[in-house]
Each structure stands twice: as C-alpha cells, then as structure tokens.
Structure 1
Amino acid sequence: MTESVPGSLPRAVLWDMDGTLVDTEPYWIDTEFEIAQRHGGTWSHAHALNLVGNDLLESGRYIREHMGIEPSAEQIVEELLDGVVARVEDSVPWRPGARAILEELSAAGTPCALVTMSYQRFVAPILAQLPPETFRVIVTGDIVEFGKPHPEPYLTAAAALGLKPGECLAVEDSNTGAKSAESAGCLVLVVENHVPVLAGERRVFADTLEGIDLGAIWADYHR
C-alpha cells in the first residue's frame, strides 16, 4: 500500500448514504413525528435535524429523552426502521447525480464502500436497485462498536478494502459524518443537504454530485 501522490486519483471512494446518495432524511423525520404521535410525545423539526448523520442507537436515546416517551432506545430504533423501510420499499429518492457517478466509478474500476449508520435491513432495499458489487464493502451502524462521529466506521471501511484512510475520498453531507471521515484520515467531499457543514482542514465542498469530477477534486487538494 502506498500513500497517494499529487495528481493521482483516490484509491477508493467511501460513501455516506442518508442525505448523500439518497435523500431519505425526510423519511426519518416523518417517522419520528409518527412515533411522537403514537406514544404521546412532543417533537420538533429542530430536534430532527440534530439527529442527521447520527448513530441510530444514540438517536434512539435522544428521541426517548426529548420526546418524553416510554419505549426503550432499542424499541425506538426498531420503530424508526419499520417506518423508513416501508417508505424506501415504495420509493428510493436518489440524490441528483448519485447513480451516474456510481456507474462511472464502477466503469473506471475504482472501488467504493458504503459507510452508513443505518442498519442492514434499511440498506438492503436501496442496494437492490443497484448493480451487484457497486459497493465492495458495506459498513452499517449495526456492525460497528462506535458510530459516527467516531472514526471507526471509516477506518473499518478502508481496512476492509486493504487501504489507508489517506488513500480514500469520503463523501458526506453532515458534520457528524464529515468528522468521522476526517478523524479517520480521509479527505472529505461535503455536499450539503439538510444541514450546514462546518469547514475543516480535510474538507472540500461541492453544491451537487451532478457532473462532478472526483479525480479533479482529489488532484486539486493534493496539488
């Protein structure tokens, strides 16, 4: 394994899912309000945005506390997943340019990993719409000990690909995810969606994935 040199391409691209590849955040938020109504709790859009990019079990704890409801964090996570899985099975809201760039990377032989805090049963119906082997590695929130913003998810993905994090470009849409990837040692391409993301030493920003040249972004940073 060698470190990347100026002008070279990333050895792999590590993708966040919710808000980055698919715009499922509204699905999560709608389900959160349903849970509040079902259990007699209170919720707000501001609380919902605080959860963007978070580990699911941590989100369950936050929901239990701030909604003021009785179910355990684990039960809340299962109710969340029930709601969003049903919505995704009905329609997957791809972000502009997402599928096209995945196809381009596949054609170029650039390996991709999916690094998401969603659980496998939510990821499965989304992956079913993509060609097999689109992602050589899949890291979900239910297989890591520490979720984002801890670096473990991105460290796990890079190691599974046989690469160092510094050889990989991560693509994220949230502060939580960007912190995870940056802390692991990745360069992070941030495409903001529902929440603003802070600037960082290893963060570069783009408005959209449509027509984007990841190789140029990588080369510009390492120039």
Structure 2
Amino acid sequence: MTLSQTARPDRAAPVYPAAVLWDMDGTLVDTEPYWIEAEHELVAAHGGVWNDEFAHQLVGNALEVSAQLIIDKSGIELSVPEVIDALLLRVIAQVEKRIPWRPGARELLGELGELGVPSLLVTMSWRSLADTVVRQLPEGAFHALVTGDEVSHGKPHPEPYLAAARLVGAEPGACIAIEDSPAGVRSATAAGVPTIAIPHVVPVPRIEGAVHIDTLAGVTAADLTTIVSSVLPSR
C-alpha cells in the first residue's frame, strides 16, 4: 500500500497514510498515572522503596523490562511474571471504572475510520488491558492490535511497528505512528515509520524520523501527512 488520495472538488486532494499506528498508554489514553499508582501500591505492599523518578524510567518500555527494573530498584522479592500480573490487575481495574482519553485522540481515530484509513494499536501493555480499552470504542475502530505479550522484542526494538505494518500489508514508510514516550518513538522510527511524538508524562528527545507536536486536539486526518512531511522517506 502507498499513500492514498481522496479527491475534493474545491481543493487539492489530501494525502492520507496507508495506516496510522497508535501507541496506547499516554497517547490514546492517559493511563500512565494508573501504572505509576499501581507501581507505588505494589512496591509498598511488599516493603520496597519506590518514587516517581523510578516510575518515569519505565514509561513506554516492554512490561518484562519494566517489571525487572521494579525488582532491581525497589528490592521487592517477586518474579517478573508476578510483578506483571499484579500491575495489570490494578490498571485494568482502574480502566474498567474510567478511561481517561487523551485530547483529540478519539476524534481523530473516528475520522480515520470514516475515511477507511486503517488504525492499528501498537502497545507494550498486554492483550488483557488493550482489549479492555478497545471494548470502549466503536467496533472496528482498530484494524488489529499488536501487544507486548505477542512480540519477541518490545519497544524500543522496531519489531512491534514492523509487525503492525505487516498486518495491514503496508510499507512502514507509508504509515504514520503516534507516540508519547522515548522508547515508543525509538521503536517506530527504527522501523522506518514517520512518527508524531506528543510528549506527555516524560520528555521525548529529538529523534531522527519524528516530529514533535503538543497535542492531537484539533488535528485531522488530512493534517497527519503534512505534520510528518519533513521526515517522510524520499520516493
């Protein structure tokens, strides 16, 4: 697939990406505070030491990596699977009560669906949490999901974004990724996907292949290719 155009009689036809590849935590939904709260609760329950500086180091990473960092930094005596399960239970419980959508995300996702531009979720959260979020959206909002428990290498490795592009039959350079974390931006750009970085909980350094914006509020589907125009691969 390549970039597509939809004709308009009164203006130049907008160019849409072959697919939009969405991060979830911090990009689609503001769940990073849920994760940080869960980390504090878990570590405190097991007599360890935790703080927000440690928590911010985990943002965007594969859950296995984050769990090991929690064990190493906090001193709690749990296994990686035990940490992951405990965190997921806490975060899913919060999401089931309330999903805090990020500004402009649902509106853009809905417009892309109306235009027939596929959206794929590319998250290091596991399928159980991703499904909980996606159930709150209209059926078919996402063409497919790539989750942290279904890849061999998590972000910042390029595998998750390469897998997403394959699922929709698109070249990575014809897609656009939307991310909020350093690990996520590095994953997408390493896969060759032009990336929109929207820093949220933690700063995102300038990374080749990514363009920074402040918010998705007011961003339309027709804006996406224009936003990343300076980092699109030459054809």
TM-score scaled by structure 2? 0.90
Residue pair 1:115, 1:157 contacting (<8 A) in 2 also? yes
**Displacement after TM superposition at 1:99 (Å):** 0.6
Match in the other structure for 2:138: 131
Match in the other structure for 1:217: 227
**Displacement after TM superposition at 1:119 (Å):** 0.5
**Displacement after TM superposition at 1:109 (Å):** 0.8
Q: Letter of the aligned partner of 2:226 in structure 1?
A: A
**CA 1:2–1:101: 2 relative to 1, 3 Å:** closer
Of residues 94, 100, 113 in structure 2, which corresponds to 1:106? 113
Aligned Cα root-mean-square deviation (Å): 1.7
Q: Letter of the aligned partner of 1:66 in structure 2?
A: K
Aligned residues: 222
Q: Does 1:142 align with 2:149?
A: yes
**Displacement after TM superposition at 1:10 (Å):** 1.2
Q: Letter of the aligned partner of 2:160 in structure 1?
A: P
Structure 1 residues not aligned, in runs of 5+: none
Match in the other structure for 1:157: 164
Q: Does 1:50 align with 2:57?
A: yes
Equivalent-residue separation in structure 1 for 2:118 and 2:52 (angstroms): 36
Match in the other structure for 1:191: 198
TM-score scaled by structure 1? 0.95
Q: Which has the higher contact order (CA 8 A, sep 6+)?
A: 1
Equivalent-residue separation in structure 2 for 1:125 and 1:145 (angstroms): 22
1:177-211 CA-to-partner distances (Å, cap 9, x unmatched) read: 00000000000000110111111221111110011
Q: Letter of the aligned partner of 2:132 in structure 1?
A: P
1:12-40 CA-to-partner distances (Å, cap 9, x unmatched) read: 10000000000000000000000111100
Identity %: 49
Residue pair 2:176, 2:195 contacting (<8 A) in 1 also? yes
Equivalent-residue separation in structure 2 for 1:20 and 1:132 (angstroms): 20
Match in the other structure for 1:63: 70
Query: Does 118-127 or 21-30 show the bigger shift?
Result: 118-127
Equivalent-residue separation in structure 1 for 2:34 and 2:174 (angstroms): 33
Residue pair 2:26, 2:201 contacting (<8 A) in 1 also? yes
* Equivalent position SS for 1:142: helix
Equivalent-residue separation in structure 1 for 2:82 and 2:19 (angstroms): 36
Q: Letter of the aligned partner of 2:130 in structure 1?
A: V
Equivalent-residue separation in structure 2 for 1:112 and 1:219 (angstroms): 19
Moved over 6 A (4+): none
